[in-house]
């Protein structure tokens, strides 16, 4: 098992906001991630909510801006917050330095195209390597849910739909719902997977949801003032897919909200309480 190097540890709402580094065998680089451990971990292992962040973010955006720890401490849910891509001097980046591909924009896929395949295995890192590591080294149970924002909302939905039984519930804020039909998605999928568009569908939540009926609890919040709504996010595709498969999904359109962390902070309590219904025993 890889050793965890503790980078920081702050007291917060009776729990601990921590940051770790470790050598990732999956990503072939050194990675950092953040964890909030609620006060209940002093007595027992607790379930986890994995949070996947969006383009340009690191593991620190959510922990600093979303204000999730107060409710997580009350409920007894840990927050596991990975980075958004592999990092390091040896990790290839967008050749033109664009924000929407490469470093900070791993898109939560397993890359197959050169030169990205050596490092950009974010799907396996999030779904396999990181949970095995934190559940062995920290007071966490094997009960997990997953959530995310924008690119991270895409990743959360795709992983929950593909990994049957691994997650108890899934939620998303302004997810990239149909990446095979939006500029961000097409650029990322072509760059990481190559030009064969048939391989892209395995990473499109709308395609996956249309093809299978799922009983997985799904909550999605989308602001109607989001500057990326029409061109990049396409929540209507996700809703149409749920109708095709007969799956239940709660899609809430929030009037006046944009794509920022102010939007996330406004509704993160709703999402944590939603996940608590499936992660925690109900009295």
List the catalytic residues: 150, 226, 259
Check if the beta carbon of residue 53 is closer than 8 Å to that of residue 112: no
Which token pair is 88? 């390091």
**What does the DSSP assignment read for 65-116?**
HS--HHHHHHHT-EEEEE-SS--STTS---TT--TTSBTTB-TT-B--STTT
Strands of 218-223's sheet in order across: 5-12, 15-24, 29-37, 78-82, 46-52, 140-149, 170-173, 218-223, 250-254
Which token pair is 264? 């996330």
Check if the beta carbon of residue 161 is closer than 8 Å to that of residue 208: yes
Distance (Å, whole) CA 195 – CA 52 = 26
């Amino acid at each position: 098992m890889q050793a965890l190097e503790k980078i920081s540890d702050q007291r917060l709402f009776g729990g601990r906001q921590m940051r770790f580094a470790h050598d990732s065998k999956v990503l072939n680089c050194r990675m950092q991630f953040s964890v909030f451990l609620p006060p209940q971990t002093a007595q027992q292992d607790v379930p986890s909510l994995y949070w996947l962040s969006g383009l340009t973010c690191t593991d620190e955006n959510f922990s600093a801006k979303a204000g999730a720890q107060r409710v997580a401490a009350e409920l007894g849910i840990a927050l596991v917050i990975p980075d958004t891509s592999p990092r390091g001097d040896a990790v290839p980046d967008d050749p033109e330095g664009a924000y929407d591909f490469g470093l900070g924009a791993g898109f939560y896929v397993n890359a197959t195209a050169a030169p990205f395949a050596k490092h950009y295995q974010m799907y396996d890192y999030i779904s396999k390597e990181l949970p095995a590591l934190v559940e062995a080294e920290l007071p966490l149970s094997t009960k997990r849910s997953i959530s995310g924002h924008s690119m991270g909302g895409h990743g959360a939905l795709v992983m929950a739909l593909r990994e049957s039984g691994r997650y108890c519930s899934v939620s998303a804020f302004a997810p990239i719902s149909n990446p095979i039909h939006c500029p961000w998605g097409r650029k990322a999928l072509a760059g990481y997977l190559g030009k064969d568009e048939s391989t892209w569908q395995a990473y499109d939540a709308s395609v996956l949801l249309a093809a299978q009926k799922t009983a997985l609890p799904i909550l999605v919040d989308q602001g109607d003032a989001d500057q990326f709504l029409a061109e990049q996010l396409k929540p209507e595709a996700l809703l149409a897919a749920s109708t095709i498969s007969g799956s239940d999904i709660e899609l809430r359109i929030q009037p006046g909200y944009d794509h920022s962390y102010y939007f996330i902070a406004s509704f993160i309590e709703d999402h944590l309480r939603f996940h608590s219904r499936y992660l925690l025993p109900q009295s």
